[in-house]
Chain A
Amino acid sequence: MAVRTPLQTQSPPAVPEKVNQRFYHLEPAILPEVYHGDRVRAFLDAFAAILRHSNYRFAVEMYARTSSKCGNCAVSCQVYQATGDPKDVPCYRTNLLLDVYRRYFTPLGDLQGRLLHLEPLSEARIDEMAELFYRCTACRRCKLECPMGIDHGLMTHLGRYVLSQAGVAPKGLVVSVREQLEGKTANTSAIPFPALVDTLEFLSDEVRELKGAPAAFPIDVMDAEYIFYPAVSDYLMEADTLMGNAAVLQAAGISWTIGSGYFDGINYGLFYDDWVLERIIGKLVSEAQRLNASKILVGECGHAARSARQFVPTFGGDGVLPVVSIIELTYQLLREGRIQLDPDAITEKVTYHDPCNIARSGWIVDQPRHILRSFVHDFVEMNPHGAQNYCCGGGGGLVSLDETFDFRMQVAGKTKAEQIAASGAEIVATPCANCKKQLRELVDYYKLPVQIVGVHDLILRAIKL
């Protein structure tokens, strides 16, 4: 294996000024005419409507009263660590929104505003919020360090939601969601269903070629135990992951299906808008109900797994379906002895990257490690890992925004690149489509001799069919 050059000596370019300025385009405001383009009024109205129809208000109230602004969150934020810009401290960002709340939604703030003639919310402040809320990767690592327990990830989520309803959202996310919810193909990658069928047939043949036995990709099977929702981009970019998924399900004799009516696990609503979030969850559940599936199975995708797991019980209507991650299921099947993995199939040194959306809460931390250790001889950990992991740098939807490339490489992903280099691993396995895309771009950018794969890509190499 090639000798690794320490990342620090590869001298990635200093963060250019343009990376510290606006790096993405905003969707033109979709505001009713009544606002006459007044974004300040639109922002305040959106904030008021969201507080009225959600559970955020008392949390915002609590944060506004107790935020001690100690800055402890700064030590855990990889964006701040990379830039050293005080504006990247999570608490600073959170307080931008809290200041609006204090000023316009509390009696004391209203009184102060009137008596002291405080500066009102301005277009410039809205621009600053838009910029900073989309420099956050929503990894929620800072929450672990806040002595008060303020969830800055929640505030990023809320801030983006308010901005979205005031007509400010990144074009990359909006265009994908528009196709998913209002387009003909009903998925974020705009894959027509006939093309999907061709892909699945191809993948099935590939498994036969690789393993000497076929693995079916069933479509529209009624009464299956699982309906399967991978990140739809896997159908375009992660063939090995999907073949690994199908091989596991085939080997264990699991009853599963893909729905022809809806087959996309991606839910960008988690990144920027609860209205979008609830509509996408509604589509997942409707398709499952149409096919009378018993459970929802989510593929290797961190945010898709978290959004389904966390919000199907909320938006899924009556008779809530259980949500299972493919990692959980594979782990269970392995423990039950229903799949066999060849312990000699993987000879490279492997490490595992924890996707924030499934690891930060401690939900999926040990399971993938049990799976990998069961057939990978040379497994090493990055430090820190698990619930304390560093984000890949493309979280919170940033990886889907091409405009953020320089920022993701030079700022948000820098710490992760250093971690990967320090691990000495030849393969990084991670069960997340977004993380994989970001990590591949990172290892290319920093010229690290590392391969980025899904957990099921390795399983595919080792599974006995």
Chain B
Amino acid sequence: MPLWMVIARGPIFRFALAVFVLGLLRLLLLTLWGMLQSVRQAGDQRIPYGKLLRETLSWIFPFGQLVRTRRIYSFASFGMHLGILGAAIFLGNHLDILRANIGLAWPAIFKPVLDGLSVITILAGIYLLLYRIYVPSSQKLSKRMDYLLLILILNLFISGYVAGQTWNPIPYDGLMLFHTLNGLAIALLAPFTKIAHCVLFPLIRLGSEIAWRLTPQGGSRAVRTLYGPDGRRI
């Protein structure tokens, strides 16, 4: 194994994993703490937890949502998420690296299944990228990071898929270097970009509901802060 691969799969992997896990854990804890504080401050603490849980689950397992609007987009997005989760967590090669670094792993998914998921992810990723580029409403919303993350994911999956095929025409080591660098970049960016939704997603609907629970005298206090103790007139 080339030296660069030993380093990338060893110390650099551990560093990226630490940033990924600790960064996201920090976000999760800060969000939970913020929620707890907000509920304490709220004048009305009756939160419909059951309803919010059902709504959240209906989007975590969005089978009923996929056919409602923008079907192609919805299936593409769902397929890409499925592929990312499947390949990142259940590919035998990834689990070998994980086991070697932290001594922890779980059963892998049969490779042909993951290959199929990878193809879905690649096709879905290309569709989503083209959608951002060519559909005006999506183009207007998109920023550099939105394109960059999609390109990193596409790089990751295309290189990973091609490297694993017998017909791969590209030198394996070079392709793996490209694959590894993209994977590490995604792990390092996760806590600082919208990838953070992988841990915050289950809390967003609850958070929105809590935000509507206003704080008693919150408006008056804001006005006093801005306009002094006498406040202001309408």
Chain A complexes with chain B = yes
A-to-B contact residues, CB < 8 Å: 30, 32, 45-46, 49-50, 52-59, 61-63, 65-72, 74-76, 80, 84, 86-87, 89, 91-92, 95, 108, 143, 145, 147-151, 154, 165, 174, 177-178, 181-182, 273-279, 310-311, 313-315
| B42 close to chain A: CB less than 8 A | yes
Known: A147-B65, A177-B234. A314 touches B42 (CB 8 A): yes
| B93 close to chain A: CB less than 8 A | no
Q: Which of chain B's residues have a CB closer than 8 A to the CB of A70? A: 73, 77, 138
Q: Which of B69, B201, B213 contacts A66 (CB 8 A)?
A: B201
10 A-B contacts (beta carbon < 8 Å): A49-B226, A55-B218, A62-B207, A66-B197, A89-B137, A108-B192, A145-B68, A147-B59, A149-B56, A151-B211
Type the 1/0 row for B200-215, where 1 means its CB is closer than 8 Å to any CB of A: 1101110110111111
| B221 close to chain A: CB less than 8 A | yes
Number of B interface residues, CB 8 Å? 64
Q: Which of chain B's residues have a CB closer than 8 A to the CB of A80? A: 137
Q: Is the CB of B200 within 8 A of A62?
A: yes
Q: Is the CB of A313 within 8 A of B226?
A: no
B-to-A contact residues, CB < 8 Å: 27, 31, 34-35, 37-38, 41-44, 46, 55-56, 59, 62, 65, 68-70, 73-74, 77, 135-143, 146, 192, 194, 196-197, 200-201, 203-205, 207-208, 210-223, 225-228, 232-234
Known: A59-B207, A66-B201. A315 touches B43 (CB 8 A): yes
Q: Which secondary structure characterizes the binding site on chain B? A: helix
Q: Is the CB of B218 within 8 A of A53?
A: yes
Q: Is the CB of B218 within 8 A of A182?
A: no
Q: Which of A30, A54, A61, A87 contacts B222 (CB 8 A)?
A: A54
Q: Smallest CB-CB separation from B78: which chain A residue?
A: A147
Q: Is the CB of B211 within 8 A of A55?
A: yes
Q: Which of chain B's residues have a CB closer than 8 A to the CB of A182? A: 233-234
Q: Which secondary structure characterizes the binding site on chain A? A: helix
Task: State in angstroms the CA–CA spacing of A164 and B3 once bound together.
Answer: 61
Q: Is the CB of B69 within 8 A of A76?
A: yes
**A179 → chain B closest CB, angstroms:** 9
Q: Which of chain B's residues have a CB closer than 8 A to the CB of A95? A: 141
Q: Is the CB of B232 within 8 A of A30?
A: yes
